[in-house]
């Protein structure tokens, strides 16, 4: 039962990261319908590169922790303390990933004029 709970918690954490990646892709795709100035486009590209660099390390750490958890959960006598530590680490990393992505969206939003924001909102279905 404990194993099922741990797997469920980790699955939810990883699913939230995957969903956030998809949401970023949709938002950036919608942004292509907004006419951006050269400086805005450069700024968005810089923000996107910074976000990718920041989240790549987190995702790598998360994958390593999940792999270690998988091994520990299959062990004959699992180290419950280590399992707890890794589970908390995955949740913390997922939260950090989310925070970086939310900040990225805020920063991009701040670059847009009110008219550009309106176009983006319509494109996103709001």
Task: Return the domain boundaries, the chain.
Answer: 2-123
Token pair, residue 82, equals: 């280590």
> Does this model's pTM top 0.85?
no
Token pair, residue 2, equals: 């404990």
CB 17 within 8 A of CB 97: yes
CB 34 within 8 A of CB 123: yes
* Mean pLDDT value across residues 63-89: 90
Long-range contacts of 83-87 (CB under 8 A, 24+ apart): 83/6, 87/6, 87/9, 87/10
pLDDT, one tens digit per residue, over 11-37 is 666 566 665 665 666 667 778 888 899
- Class (C level, CATH) for 2-123: mainly alpha
CB 27 within 8 A of CB 48: no
């Amino acid at each position: 039962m404990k194993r099922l709970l741990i797997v469920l918690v980790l699955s939810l954490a990883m699913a939230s990261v995957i969903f956030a990646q998809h949401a970023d892709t949709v938002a950036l795709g919608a942004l292509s319908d907004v006419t951006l100035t050269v400086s805005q486009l450069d700024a968005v590209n810089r923000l996107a590169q910074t976000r990718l660099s920041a989240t790549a390390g987190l995702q790598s750490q998360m994958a390593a922790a999940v792999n270690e958890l998988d091994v520990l959960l299959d062990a004959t006598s699992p180290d419950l303390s280590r399992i707890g530590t890794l589970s908390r680490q995955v949740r913390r990393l997922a939260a950090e990933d989310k925070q970086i992505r939310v900040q990225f969206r805020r920063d991009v939003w701040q670059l847009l004029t009110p008219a550009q924001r309106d176009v983006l909102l319509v494109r996103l279905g709001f």
